[in-house]
Amino acid sequence: MQEFKALLVEEREGGSFCGSVVQRNVVDLPEGDVLIRVRYSSLNYKDALSASGNKGVTRNYPHTPGIDAAGEVLQSDCPNFQSGDEVIVIGYDLGMNTSGGFGQLIRVPHQWVVKRPDKLGLKESMILGTAGFTAALCVEKLLLNGTNPENGDVLVTGATGGVGAVAVAILGKLGYTVVGSTGKSDQEEFLTGLGAARVIDRCALSEENPRPLLREEWAAAVDVVGGNTLVNILKTLKYGSSVACCGLVESPSLPATVLPFILRGVNLLGIDSVNLPLETKNRVWNLLASDWKLDCLDALCQEIGFNELAASLSSVLEGKAVGRLVLNLDR
């Protein structure tokens, strides 16, 4: 397979960017010791930024985005992988400055590659993707820091997005009382179907409040928003509780005081899914394929082909997407 289909984003004269589906050649791919035929990818906010020409994500163009990829090995110079092995690649530099999963072929270092767990299909792995994997990391870290179902309500912000929706589903499966926060008032049925006990409007959390502490409310939280929302979560966590922070949809700033930390002993837990050790990625993928395997994956997912990719990326960038968008690279 020398030629393959891919989204290629190019910089035009004047600084604008345009993406189109083109035929590329395997010689266009970067160096690496594992060549993979990609069957599925998924759409993430970082992909939408890369596809729109955001040089904070991707420095050089032309470029093929896609921070997630699942498929089979075509060629490997590493004894850990053989031709035909089904594998997953997320994170590291894939789709950022290395040609990514919106192309039918990728070539990457073997240190980025995880074998697909037996009980998780290629499409299922991309319904989860970086977003679902990040959600699992958030939940795991909350559990490791003492969060129990008996402690009370667990808040999930950005609940209709990729990370939020999977976090709601995992926490619901584990028996937690989940409260989803969203700006999409028409998606309450979607969230309760995933496992949310109730849904609140995100405005209730995003308003600036000068008081350093507020009434204790949450036993734990998963936050993808940042900014004032995260500050208000810290102010309303119960004594000794934790919030797992993995996003900045509202803002990267944190205009907070130290009082929630020193008067209520709360924990702000940082989550990164990009540069984790490969052993951690293997362990978490196997958890998502076994004890945390979700029955609602199909309900989370809309499958698209190359023809729908541009419009879908715009939807993600504008915050209109719900659940997970999965790209079938054979469509």
Structural tokens at position 275: 């540069």
The DSSP string of 18-52 is EEEEEEEEGGGSPP-SEEEEEEEEE--HHHHHHHT
Q: What is the DSSP letter of 157?
A: S
Residue 134 has pLDDT above 90, yes or no: yes
**Half-sphere exposure of residue 102: CA atoms within 13 angstroms, side-chain side:** 32
The DSSP string of 282-314 is HHHHHHHTTTT--TTHHHHEEEE-GGGHHHHHH
* Distance of alpha carbon 160 from alpha carbon 182, whole angstroms: 7
Specify the residue for token string 């590659």.
Answer: 113
Under 8 Å between Cβ of 326 and 123: yes
Fold of 3-116+296-328: Quinone Oxidoreductase; Chain A, domain 1 (3.90.180)
Percent of the chain with pLDDT over 70: 100
* Distance of alpha carbon 65 from alpha carbon 313, whole angstroms: 11
Q: How far apart are the first and last CA of the chain?
A: 17
State the pLDDT at residue 1: 76
Specify the residue for token string 């906010």.
Answer: 45
pLDDT digits (tens, 9 = 90+) for 220-264: 999 999 999 999 999 999 999 999 999 998 999 999 999 999 999
Residue 45 has pLDDT above 80, yes or no: yes
Helix (H, G, I), strand (E, B) or coil at 137: helix
Structural tokens at position 31: 């160096």
Looking at residues 60-71, what average pLDDT do you find? 97
User: pTM of the full predicted structure?
Assistant: 0.94
Looking at residues 14-42, what average pLDDT do you find? 95
Q: Domain 130-270 classified CATH 3.30.300.130?
A: no
* Distance of alpha carbon 34 from alpha carbon 79, whole angstroms: 10
* Distance of alpha carbon 88 from alpha carbon 115, whole angstroms: 6
Percent of the chain with pLDDT over 90: 96
Q: Is residue 62 reached through a cis peptide bond, with omega within 30 degrees of 0 on the bond before it?
A: yes
- Band (pLDDT 50/70/90 cuts) for residue 110 is very high
State the pLDDT at residue 249: 87
Boundaries of every domain in the chain? 3-116+296-328, 130-270
The DSSP string of 138-171 is HHHHHHHTT--GGG--EEESSTTSHHHHHHHHHH
State the pLDDT at residue 15: 86
